Amino acid sequence: MTTETKSIVLISKDSKPFPEIGAALKADQQYNYEECSGTLTEMNGRASVLADTHDLILFQTETDTEIDVLAIKRLREANGEKAVILALSGAETTLADAQLLTRAGVDGVLAETISPDELEAEISKRLKPKIQLPALMPDQGTLGKVITIAQARGGIGATMLAVNFADHLLGKVRRKQDKPDCRVALVDLDLQFGSISSFLDAKPNEALYQLSMDGTEPDATFLSQSMEHFPNGLSVLAAPSKLAPLDALKPQQVSKLLQVLQHEYDYVVVDLPHALVEWLAPVLEATDRMLLVLDSTVPAVQKARQLIDFYTEDNLTLQIDLVVSHEKKPLIQGRHHTEAAKALERPLRHWLPPHPKAAREAVDRGVPLSKAARSSSLNKAVKRLVTTIKAELAQAPHSAQQVQ
Ligand SMILES: Nc1ncnc2c1ncn2[C@@H]1O[C@H](COP(=O)(O)OP(=O)(O)OP(=O)(O)O)[C@@H](O)[C@H]1O
Ligand SMILES: [Mg+2]
């Protein structure tokens, strides 16, 4: 394989920034490396020239993340997704800061203490796809987005959200013969207690049981034959009726399952189990947006904190939105809300009002809220949530492979 030289620029306010990193990159024949003094904001229009003329920009973050966020947004507007941008952050940068930077368009947030070897690995991982033959690489742009639904306690409304999120992703209510706007797959990875089948009057599906038992990796044909395809365009992989140990499924199998689905569908909505298993790792890696459903009670907030720590341990830039279930969005948030948001280092962003009648009607009929209770506040709240996330995912770079 021929490897062309890649150019890297480090933007740093320090006069002698990261000497070890600089020396290692200068010595590496694969790269043309230069340093620019200043902050990303101080570069003004020059940053977009640097982005046009370099394959990768490394920049040292400012103490005030908002300033960097503005600069990154401006840079992305001018330069699109052409250059890879990596942030080097100090100890003061929080998880929430890292997420803000990622949302603005940064491809990765790395610790300033990163060793030259680790940095080299991060850089070559991000530059590699561009130096491989396009025909050999899957088209990253056409990969479906993965939305993962997690719950801070049992019975909180996570499956209700997964089912209706997938339903609204399909697009407007259409005539029977019309095709849906998007291809959407809904996957019940709550293998032992999954209830998507009862929410949608679908048959339990033994495919995931079979995979757990025989250890094979699913391919496109297996999945297409295993999934139940609904007339409205939704494809569902329900949980099996037979019980298998949760850890019988292997990370490699789940990774392949998601890879295949991402190639076949525009969106893959995953309902997670309320348990921590090894195969969560590939799900988290592929996730473009996680929705963590909770309520504002102390036990739920405490559990949510633990889960966020677990989910982000190896996925620092995983974007987790909080969805407060069974609560109408308050005009003014109470103190317990403010404290919950502070403890969880992110806003209580989406709210799903309590609506037992609508929820019950939908479950009893085995149809989504859009059919059973279209004008209910609950259906409208889910629809709003989907519209927001869909718009944000359309803008965002594909996080799945980038946050590895
Ligand atoms: N906002 C709501 N208002 C009223 N009822 C709701 C609401 N959201 C969900 N429900 C109902 O609460 C019950 C539990 O919901 P769901 O199964 O979605 O929760 P879960 O978090 O997935 O639970 P599990 O721990 O069983 O996976 C269901 O009967 C559902 O219809
Ligand atoms: Mg559930």
* Confidence label for 44 from pLDDT (cuts 50, 70 and 90): confident
* Confidence label for 56 from pLDDT (cuts 50, 70 and 90): very high
The answer to whether 6-134 and 141-402 have equal CATH topology is yes
Pocket perturbation via mutation, ligand 1, pick of 148, 160, 323, 367 by most ligand atoms within 8 A of CB: 160
The CATH class, in words, for 6-134 is: alpha beta
Whole-number percent of the chain with pLDDT over 70: 92
Ligand 2: distance of its center to the CA of 49 in Å?
Answer: 49
Looking at the CA of residue 156, tell me the nearest atom of ligand 1: 21
Q: Which residues pair with 323 in a beta bridge?
A: 293, 350
Domain ranges for the chain: 6-134, 141-402
| Position 191 pLDDT exceeds 90 | yes
- Per-residue three-class SS string for the chain: CCCCCEEEEEEECCCCCCHHHHHHHHHCCCEEEEEEECCHHHHCHHHHHHHHHCCEEEEECCCCHHHHHHHHHHHHHHHCCCCEEEEEECCCCCHHHHHHHHHHCCCEEEECCCCHHHHHHHHHHHHHHHHCCHHHCCCHHHCCEEEEEEECCCCCCHHHHHHHHHHHHCCCCCCCCCCCCCCEEEEECCCCCCCHHHHCCCCCCCHHHHHHHHCCCCCHHHHHHHCEECCCCEEEECCCCCCCCHHHCCHHHHHHHHHHHHHHCCEEEEECCCCCCCCHHHHHHHCCEEEEEECCCHHHHHHHHHHHHHHHCCCCCCCEEEEEECCCCCCCCCHHHHHHHHHHCCCCCEEECCCHHHHHHHHHHCCCHHHHCCCCHHHHHHHHHHHHHHHHHHHCCCHHHHCC
Residues in contact with ligand 1 by the CB-under-6-Å rule are: 151, 154-160, 190, 193, 195, 274, 325-326, 352, 354-356, 359, 363, 378
* Confidence label for 90 from pLDDT (cuts 50, 70 and 90): confident
Looking at the CA of residue 356, tell me the nearest atom of ligand 1: 4
User: Which is more confident, 397 or 279?
Assistant: 279
Separation of CA 255 from chain center: 15
At 175, give phi and psi (nearest 5°): -70, 155
Q: What is the pLDDT of residue 232?
A: 84
Q: What is the pLDDT of residue 355?
A: 98
* Confidence label for 46 from pLDDT (cuts 50, 70 and 90): confident
Separation of CA 79 from chain center: 23
Q: What is the pLDDT of residue 58?
A: 93
Cβ atoms of 385 and 369 within 8 Å: the answer is: no
Ligand nearest to the CA of 275: 1
Mean pLDDT over residues 370-374, rounded? 96
Residue with tokens 């989907």: 386
Nearest-angstrom CA–CA distance, 41 and 48: 11
* Both structure tokens of 176: 């029977």
Mean pLDDT over residues 323-350, rounded? 96
Ligand 2: distance of its center to the CA of 224 in Å?
Answer: 24
* Confidence label for 397 from pLDDT (cuts 50, 70 and 90): low
pLDDT in tens, 266-305: 999 999 999 999 999 999 999 999 999 999 999 999 999 9
Mean pLDDT over residues 130-135, rounded? 37
Looking at the CA of residue 354, tell me the nearest atom of ligand 1: 3
Mean pLDDT over residues 248-273, rounded? 96
Ligand nearest to the CA of 198: 1
Pocket perturbation via mutation, ligand 1, pick of 149, 159, 297, 376 by most ligand atoms within 8 A of CB: 159
pLDDT in tens, 225-250: 899 998 888 999 999 999 989 999 99
Q: What is the pLDDT of residue 76?
A: 85
Q: What is the pLDDT of residue 128?
A: 65
Looking at the CA of residue 326, tell me the nearest atom of ligand 1: 1
Q: 10-24, 166-180, 380-394: which range is least confident on average?
A: 166-180
User: What residues pack around ion ligand 2 (CB closer than 5 A)?
Assistant: 158-159
| Position 157 pLDDT exceeds 60 | yes
Residue minimizing CA distance to atom 26 of ligand 1: 155
* Confidence label for 175 from pLDDT (cuts 50, 70 and 90): low
Average pLDDT of the chain, as a whole number? 88
User: The domain 141-402 belongs to what CATH superfamily?
Assistant: P-loop containing nucleotide triphosphate hydrolases (3.40.50.300)
pLDDT in tens, 311-333: 998 888 899 999 999 999 999 99
| Position 178 pLDDT exceeds 50 | yes
Task: Fill in the amino acid letter for 248.
Answer: A
Cβ atoms of 61 and 87 within 8 Å: the answer is: yes
* Confidence label for 402 from pLDDT (cuts 50, 70 and 90): very low
Ligand 1: distance of its center to the CA of 158 in Å?
Answer: 6
Residue minimizing CA distance to atom 23 of ligand 1: 155
